[in-house]
Amino acid sequence: MSNAPFYEIDAQAFKADPYPDLAKMRADGGIHFVPQLGATLFTQRADIFVCEKNIEVFSSRQPGGLMDVLMGQNMMRKDGDAHMAERRAVFPALSPRTVMDHWKGAFETAAARLLNGIADRGEADLVAEYAMPLSGAALQVITGLTNMSPEEMDRVSQGMIDGIANYAGDAAIEAHCKDCTASIDRHIDARLDALRAAPDKSLLSVQMQAGLPEESVRANVKLAISGGQNEPRDAIAGAVWAMVSHPDQLGAVERGATTWRAVFEEYARWISPIGMSPRRVDQAFAYKGVTFEPDERVFFMFGSANRDEAEFDAPDRFDVMRDTGRAIAFGAGPHFCAGAAASRVLIAEVALPMLFARLRGMRVVEEPVFEGWAFRGPLSLCVAWDV
């Protein structure tokens, strides 16, 4: 175990709102062992930016880790050449050009269909009726699992997220996660023959075309669903709430003083949908007076880095006019999110502008409850608008 100073948390309070504890850790050196999580947390942006790149010490490989056991060893749990080989294999499905040429039109079609279904009602839960199904529809085309409903995408994504964050070892959570990964495998099985006969740009297809081992193909599809469903879902709904709650900033977008891309980047800084990335210590190491031993668990807290007072003025304030260039919502090292281009287009070019153009006079009916520290977003978002 590292000799980092201990910091005790209330697990339920941390899940409800991690930011007060993270601020205290940042102010007290930025590196602490949290016994309730069994890990040493890095909370300052400067330390994360340096150490995330040091893959010889802070390795993504986690043999026996929850993600490997429950989802298979995906490219996020590999380093060096092995990681880059799989990253190159998936790039044709996720490149900025592919997103614009192949996926953006499908995103727009799905968004229009969902908005048509709710526009005349004047009220909706935008998590359940817009953000969730739109993220799922986007994943259908990106992954190639066009046979999986958006609702099932959301179910299996949440089940995997709960499973890989199940550090308390809850047997029911583990069993549910395994049920979800089994569902993904069944849907993959049902698509293989069609994609062999007619290859396309989907994630499943491009990996098959690249000749990746089947276990890697399956693990990477599961990875895409685990992050590619909840992160856009939470960012879409959360950014809507932020803009409705800050009408002056919504006005700045509407008069062209800033952009929906700036809204997304600031929201992802302010309430990072993916707030943490785990690492395993691969060799003895010392950093800033803290010594680490092999096989220790380290958490790089992106959500904390994005509210670091040393990097951002008034970091707890949502401000679409701020410079977010030093934010690391998508990571800072070789594991920078491969789906970043798809996420930015889906949210900033489709989901948010189409929603606000269609549903005028939106207002929050019930303040949303946010939850999570490794992954964070609103559980619901009940709004009304003018009809």
Strands annotated E in the chain: 31-34, 39-42, 58-59, 123-125, 277-281, 285-287, 290-292, 297-300, 363-366, 370-371, 377-378, 382-384
Other beta carbons less than 10 A from residue 20's beta carbon: 11
Quick one: 198 exposed, middle or buried, by C-beta within 10 A (0-12, 13-18, 19+)?
A: exposed
Q: How confident is the model at residue 11 (pLDDT cuts 50, 70, 90)?
A: very high
Is the domain spanning 11-384 CATH 2.130.10.10? The answer is: no
pLDDT at 256: 96
Query: Would you state the structure tokens that stand for residue 163, as one six-digit string?
Result: 């499973």
Q: Which two tokens stand for residue 387?
A: 């009809």
For 11-94, list the strands marked E by DSSP. 31-34, 39-42, 58-59
* Segment 244-257, tens digit of pLDDT: 999 999 999 999 99
Residue 165, pLDDT score? 80
Per-residue pLDDT for 1 more than 80?
A: no
How confident is residue 334, by pLDDT bands cut at 50, 70 and 90? Answer: confident
364 φ/ψ angles, rounded to the nearest 5 degrees: -80, 125
Give how far Cα 263 sits from Cα of 29, 68, 76, 306, 323, Å.
Answer: 31, 34, 27, 15, 11
Q: Which of the residue ranges 56-65, 123-132, 321-330 would you say has the lowest mean pLDDT?
A: 56-65
At 277, give phi and psi (nearest 5°). -135, 125
How far is the C-alpha of 60 from the C-alpha of 45, rounded, in Å? 19
Residue 65 is predicted with a pLDDT of 81
pLDDT tens digits, residue range 36-87?
Answer: 999 999 999 999 999 999 999 999 988 878 888 889 999 988 888 898 999 9
For 166-208, what is each residue's pLDDT tens digit?
877 899 999 999 999 999 999 999 999 999 999 999 999 999 9
pLDDT category at 23 given cuts 50, 70, 90 is: very high
How many Cβ atoms from other residues are within 10 Å of residue 344's Cβ?
20
Place of tokens 């281009």: 341
Mean pLDDT value of segment 108-133: 97
The helix (H) or strand (E) run that includes residue 211 is none
Q: Give 270-297 pLDDT, tens digit per residue.
A: 999 999 999 999 999 999 999 999 999 9
Highest-confidence segment of 23-37, 61-75, 150-164: 23-37
List of residues 6+ apart from 144 with CB closer than 8 A: 191, 195, 200, 202, 203, 204, 205, 221
Residue 151 near residue 136 (C-beta atoms within 8 A): yes
Q: Number of H helices and number of E strands within the chain?
A: 18, 12
pTM of the model as a whole: 0.94
Distance CA 118, CA 387 (A): 11
If DSSP codes are grouped into helix, strand and coil, which group holds residue 287?
strand
Domain boundaries, the chain: 11-384
| Rounded Cα–Cα distance for residues 295 and 298 (Å) | 9
